[in-house]
Structure 1
């Protein structure tokens, strides 16, 4: 029996690790089933079904629940076998104890993919881990691709498939996000949506019983909709394979990683909520640097970098020009560039001479370009354009300039409050101008 299990493990490894995992039926399905679909507000079966329907999924939707007859205007099927026609992916929301039997039904139905929302597996201890091994073996036997268990779901924006508990529906875009924490991942997707960052896919990988981050990276490497890949990881798993895959993928599209469980407290928290164990962070960070993978320290940094990569071209080199309205901004930005291996070269005399026409004699005359709080709205534009035309740099950072609209608004409000002689017409015109421009 032991030898047979080892053989099965080897076959599964070959099937799901080398070639690319067959995730298209899950991420771009023609038909979905929600097993455990419910009318009870706030239950997972209700959250997933209503999100899929409200999100405008254009394929077939099959709710399954023996106690219901109709949900969201759709007929409900008592058993999986009652569903007419094929099903690409099943979202399972029933209690953990019933999952093995349901997976057997999915296998007999020919369902190609399962997203297992249900918790109560390896994150709960030894009994849950044994149940997780059992369901994984069932999926391997039926050739079912499994995401989860203990996942908050997936999003595939280009397929109009929004299948998470949080009803955030980001616009389609170039950022793919794989997260071992469903809650953190969904929050970041929501914030990204608020900031206008387009999302191609979100995958809550959960306990990763079958597929890990390396598998998702291999899949997203092939997906043209995914142009930037973000990872939130607590458990590295096979670190050598992960970094090998990430290094290759990073040659085609940026890979950005936030590693949770960097400290002893973080490791303990990670083990309690996903059943994962964090590795040594300093080793992980050094390996990421060698592979060219961007490692960040906070969730907001994931969004900042994904916004930059998805909206701007990747610079061809490491030379940076900096334009600011105040000296302090230039100092901290130059420090950040230097600390991250970027160069801040001196600007040539001809650029200095051209900018002398617009600026007082005491301006910085070097990179960073400190525009000394000029009120001439043309000067920052001229400065940026001069740097963009110069072939001695590869990127321009402009900061300390954004926010003047708010400053003008505050000034107008103060003037209205304290100066009764101020012209209301003039103040209205100023407000209208800053709102427009």
Structure 2
């Protein structure tokens, strides 16, 4: 572990969090993977231990710690054999809650951010729409102001925590004629009349609930507008840097887990009178992947350090996600191959890990979209800027 980024306190937190996960989470993982439902008690335990409040202000129950505590949180969650469980935790803590903290009013922070940090309320971020995908500016969901309320109509899809959340952070168009300058962000209780959620059946991330959500004349108070009307698009873009870095860190961590598991397996599996870790073809393949993963990890740490200092690292975060998710898929694919027939068996971790990892190049902006963003920045010299506060 690089001492440039991680202090003794970070490593003490890592040891404590790892111990917590193996005692409180791992015994339930197989049940949650089968049912697709993460029981509420674990959210409360995460809250009691302060794990949801690592980067949030002390005024709302957080600890206001640097982003490398978040890195530790993300890395260890990738090593307990359920990226779906990990996704439910970090989507709550770093997608929904990020908007509450950045754009929420004091009332919203007291009523939603503080209980979210405590694990008493679960949040979901609702941006992606059916047929919309990464085209945020093309969203169809509308919010029409009527007196002291907004009436919301439309739909969202692929929403992590969408079925069991207590509240949604919803992007909707308040001025459709203005394109991406007409998007606003709202807070919505999930039990509001007109809200319905349908659970989706996925290839991987089986433990997390992922939903398609419909809004049919949903009426919310005008005070549930977050930030300024019409500023939703820059708010979303600003937070995408953190989301993409999170997905990059997840990727290098699960790839590292796959390598560690495979190295251990190879040291015990015998063929032709020796353990298979002595075969040059396997050794060289493995170290090539280990080199790629280490490169990603160091790049991701460097980008995190810059984000932690307040820099706008949209290019670096986009590069990090693009490269790390590709490397993770390639690494896990090879690791499964090295286990032979056992890699294809569900009782070994590589089969699930391969399915879970496949979402990496899709979620949070597909690799194709990321390449287009980078093309605009590198070739066309487009300069993306953070939202003006």
Normalised by the size of structure 2, how large is the TM-score?
0.25
Normalised by the size of structure 1, how large is the TM-score?
0.23
Higher relative contact order (CA 8 A, sep 6+): 2
